[in-house]
A and B are shown apart, each in its own frame.
Chain A
Amino acid sequence: MTAVALPCPCVPTLCPPPSETPKDHPGLGGLVALATGKALPLREVKVRTEIVGHCARTVVEQRFGNDLHEPVEAVHIFPLPPAGAVVEMELHAGDVVVVAECREREEAEQTFQAARAAGHRAALLTQERADVHTLRVTRIPPGAEIKVRLVVIQSLEAQDGLFRWRFPTVVAPRYHSGSPVGHDGPGVDADTDRVPDASRISPPIRLAGGTRLDLEVSIAGPVSEVSASSHAVAFKMAGGLVRVAPSVKATLDRDFVLAFGLADATEPALRAYTDGTCTLAVACAPRDRVPAAMPRDAVFVVDISGSMEGEKMVAAKAALTAALHGLMPGDRFRVIAFDDRLEHFRPDFVEYGEASLAAADAWVARLAPRGGTEMLPAIVAALSGATPGGRLRTVLFVTDGQASNESELVAAVSNRRGAARFFTLGIDTAVNEALMARLARVGGGVCEIATPKDDIEETVARLESRFGLPLVDGLRIENADAARPEPAVLFAGRPAALLVAGAPAKIVARGQGATGEYVAEAEPVRVDFPLGALWARERVAYLEDRLVLKPLETEALRPEILRLGLAHHLATRWTAFVAVESQRTVDGALTEIVQPVELPEGWSESFRGGGGFGNAATTGAGFVGGAPPPPPAPSPVLMRAAPMMPPSVAAPMGRASGAPGGPPPPSPAPSPKGGLLDKARSLAKKALAPRREAERFDDADESDDLAMPMMADLGGDGFAESGAFAPPAEAEPMALDREAKEAEEAVGHARTRAGVAPTPAAVAAELAKTQKADGSFGGDALRTAAALLALVLQGHTRRAGARSRVVLKAATFLDAHRALEGVALALRALEAAERGETPVAEAAWETLRTAGTEGMLLRVVESGLGR
């Protein structure tokens, strides 16, 4: 097929001359009127989540309208939390509420089609992937609305002491490997020989505007800290609950990510909950354990496909650099970058050392995003070749996860890894968490998810402390029917949730630790939460993994998944929810509209033209290669409201910055008034007709003052307008020594990183970055001792804290320099901290406080901690 050789005409004309409004040219069969007088069917998505302990229950309400003169069938391809279970659905049509039934998918589809043919209003929910769902709402009467309400349940585990709840709002464009073979689903991409359901997971991309997200999460307290990294949020405390919601208008263009800590931070080794039918056990690795040390053959794989363009690529490179610096003497490493080709730093593993590290840093710095996302060859390369005895192969896979050949990838990791540990780091505003978590699970590692705005080095530091062998392997609950029969693993800071059938009086977990058997017991606490459905959902996920790994068992697995879905009222690949309102009929020719969805925030505009991956399979149009079309001309309509998305500040920093002499306090969420949003609007008003206003938010009120119910009574104690909610932190201004320019610079780095003030955490990040391959700082024993002490004072030891690797390396280096008094002091403090004592400042520390940059940083930490 040859393309007509003309200059690319696909750039939309977004700014017609102001004099020529469409009103001057009525007609075109009524199409012009349609362009300006109506909204897309999906009007609003309302999300209400209640989190109690380890259980989260979310009610999702999607509201559809119809501005046409004929009935409409709306199709919405949307994501839900991949580990969540859809357990209920209701159709709200006028004042009629119909509770949906869970049926075998084919039967549900037939029921739906029959209802449609009979003129009845109906809704059908099908699951396409663990995360991607399709909602069809038919016979929406002209001028009327229909709401569909879903209930999703999931369990949450704390990661490094913080619970993380991520609610996806948009299915990002995914790259489809293979050649087009057909197009069965309602999406825009063709099915391929390798991704036969691509057309079911590829919603059309919206060219302007967005659908409003009305989201509120309530957390049962007492809560110690809360932050949201992708939205400006407001908090409210009432009746023992902390309620969190975006503080400015949000649309369906990125994940909502909430991190919170519970004041009751003591994580027992085992915690159990039961609803009388099933039991949820959360096992926690003992804090004082250290994983078996083994030199690693570490493979770092980074995605440089087109979808990584922009801040994601910056974040991925920062992650890679940080992870490389976290290696230990004795480790070997290799780096692989992939898009639709593979790039190797070196053809094979190289020894970790100052020179190889510097070369790798330079190589990584030059990486730039390019084409398609062919993950399979990268995974194969990362797991190929033999690993010598006594070494552990580890893989760190850094990507946004936007590839659709999930089954192939899961099978490749599972079948090829052998004893290797496969870790994933997902970076995106709308990350494919389902894929990232699944690859890590079959890979015997853990998955870490970050938004590009997160402190990526902090994220890597957390990951680094696990980047090797687990603390506990082969973890099982005794005498119980586990949803997932294969044993679990426990990494430092990452508990495992195990679901077992039944409600025994006592739960006993057993596994193998590095130094012997691991045993933990707990008596289940009674909860009012449908754990049975959660158990079934987990079992289905396990069976889905079997389907991928043992395709020959499909015939045996299908009835089992079907049975679980029907028995527990779950949406699965073979069960669906259908609701029919058969009292009334809505006549007329039916029009199907597939709801276009937003391009995720931060994505390259070239994806709006479907050209971001530059690959044939993403469109099915048969075009191969070629540069993506140029992005559309900037236009007021496409401008995003920058004030909507200031990254929130990590909790402990929230109050530290009011210190005299320090930098100004973090500004509250900028009001939309007078901000970019306002500017964009006035531009839009000037350049275009006023009707454009409505394009930004369907059906949104025009007031700039967001009528968020919970905002009305903001202002009392315990509120923070933006950033983070935290108990007051004791923080003192730090005295910067005017003489130490170098130190100021380092502090400056730390300040930039944190965005507010040089905090102890930022100092730790700076130290992690500047540590030499041999574990020293500047090759100097005293400076290294100062750095070590700075970390120890923040609670980092060789066994605990996100910077345990940095501490371990520094301590190993210092071992040979114990004769120096300063070194001995620092090592003593470390040993004291590891015994659980608080290191007491000694007069002799003064030697360390003057030891170069690190001494400076030590003083910053001391003053920051109020010592």
Chain B
Amino acid sequence: METDPLHFDDGELEALCERAAVVLARTGAGARETTDARVREVPDGRTVRYYQSSGLLDRPARYEGRRAIYGRRHLLQMVCVKLLQARGLSLAQVQQALAGATTAQLEAAVREAFAAVAAVPAPAHPISPPLRPRPTPAGDAWFARELAPGVLVTVDPRRHPDPDSLMRRLAAALAVPVPSTPTGESR
């Protein structure tokens, strides 16, 4: 049973960024629209600062001591900035677009992006190019898989004998499609 990925109870900045990354993965932002890494990256702390100083992100919902607490609207704003950038808009244009955008508009935008991903037939080839095994100090190859665009998960097969099942469980938890097994995957 999938939970609403746009559900975000008040949380600190770190949680907000993590959730935004998950939502963005689900929209596939960037993967089809642009190859620009800067656009594809999920937001981090400095990005948030940039967004705040230019008003792309509302002021925090409240403060708990010195901690700023963010809510669902912040999540939607953050995701929409990335979605608009992925559509080739400059941040200056994004600023215009988001000035005065209602929460309903923001949510509609994200839902539309979800729907667009769902409508795209499953890719004939894996989302990510085959990954080369990554040597560890011990010399063993780790299992690596791009769980969602821009999200790379690596697993030590010595400690998790069934990495594929682990991936499926992770995908379910994050509400993203299960990544297909890249060909030529080294175990």
Which residues on A are within 8 Å of B, measured CB to CB?
1-17, 20-22, 24-25, 27-32, 34-36, 38-41, 68, 70, 72, 173, 179-183, 186-190, 199, 204-209, 589, 591-594, 596, 607-611, 618-623, 626, 629, 632, 635, 637-638, 695
Contacts and interface: CB of A to CB of B under 8 A. Distances in A.
A205 B51 CA distance: 10
B47 to A, nearest CB: 4
B89 A6 contact: no
B46 A17 contact: no
Interface in B156-176: none
A189 B84 CA distance: 25
A22 B89 contact: yes
Contacts of A621: 13, 45, 48-49, 52, 68
Nearest to B85: A13
Given A40-B96, A204-B54, A208-B92, A181 B66 contact: yes
Given A27-B109, A183-B63, A611-B53, 20 more contacts: A8-B46, A8-B47, A9-B41, A9-B47, A20-B88, A22-B87, A29-B105, A29-B108, A31-B80, A31-B83, A35-B97, A40-B96, A207-B54, A207-B90, A208-B90, A610-B50, A619-B53, A621-B13, A635-B90, A638-B92
B59 A591 contact: no
B127 interface: no
B41 A593 contact: no
Could you tell me the dominant secondary structure of chain B's interface residues?
helix
Interface stretch (B32-40, B117-125, B129-137): B32-40
A598 to B, nearest CB: 11
Contacts of A637: 90, 92
Contacts of A182: 62-63
B66 A180 contact: yes
Nearest to B92: A208
- Tell which of A7, A22, A209 has the most Cβ of chain B within 10 Å: A22
B28 to A, nearest CB: 13
Contacts of A27: 109, 112
Contacts, number: 236
Interface string B95-115: 111111110011111111100
A207 B52 contact: no
A608 B41 contact: no
Interface size range on B against A: 35 or more
B63 A28 contact: no
B46 A609 contact: yes
Contacts of B97: 31-32, 34-35
B147 interface: no
A9 B98 CA distance: 19
B51 to A, nearest CB: 8
Interface in B14-41: 14, 17-18, 21, 33-34, 36-39, 41
A207 B59 CA distance: 18
Contacts of A593: 99-100
Contacts of A40: 96, 99
Contacts of A209: 92
Contacts of B52: 188, 610, 619-621
A723 to B, nearest CB: 33
Given A31-B101, A35-B84, A207-B91, A611 B63 contact: no
Contacts of A205: 53-55
Contacts of B91: 12-14, 207, 632
Contacts of A4: 14, 17-18, 21, 42, 44-45
B109 to A, nearest CB: 3
Nearest to A635: B90
A34 B101 contact: yes
Contact of B66 (A12, A15, A173, A179): A179
A68 B54 contact: no
Given A9-B41, A621-B45, A28 B112 contact: yes
B49 A34 contact: no
A637 B95 CA distance: 14
B11 to A, nearest CB: 11
Contact of A622 (B36, B68, B80): B68
Given A594-B55, A622-B68, A629-B46, A28 B84 contact: yes
A68 B100 contact: yes
A526 to B, nearest CB: 49
A2 B12 CA distance: 11
A20 B85 CA distance: 12
A592 B106 CA distance: 15
Given A3-B46, A596-B95, A188 B53 contact: yes
A32 B36 CA distance: 19
B1 to A, nearest CB: 26
A258 B37 CA distance: 47
A692 to B, nearest CB: 8
Contact of A3 (B45, B107, B108): B45
B6 interface: no
A698 to B, nearest CB: 10
A14 B48 contact: no
B80 A206 contact: no
Nearest to A591: B100
A741 to B, nearest CB: 52
Contacts of A68: 100
Contacts of B90: 12-16, 207-208, 635, 637
B5 to A, nearest CB: 16
B165 to A, nearest CB: 27
Contacts of B149: none
A140 to B, nearest CB: 11
| Chain A to chain B: the 7 pairs with minimum beta-carbon distance, closest first | A610-B53, A204-B55, A12-B91, A9-B41, A29-B108, A29-B109, A208-B92
A620 to B, nearest CB: 6
B95 A206 contact: yes
B60 A190 contact: yes
A41 B94 CA distance: 15
Nearest to A16: B88
A596 B47 CA distance: 18
B108 A30 contact: yes
20 contacts: A3-B14, A4-B42, A11-B38, A12-B90, A12-B92, A13-B34, A14-B92, A28-B87, A29-B111, A31-B105, A180-B68, A190-B60, A205-B53, A206-B54, A207-B54, A596-B95, A610-B53, A620-B60, A621-B45, A637-B90
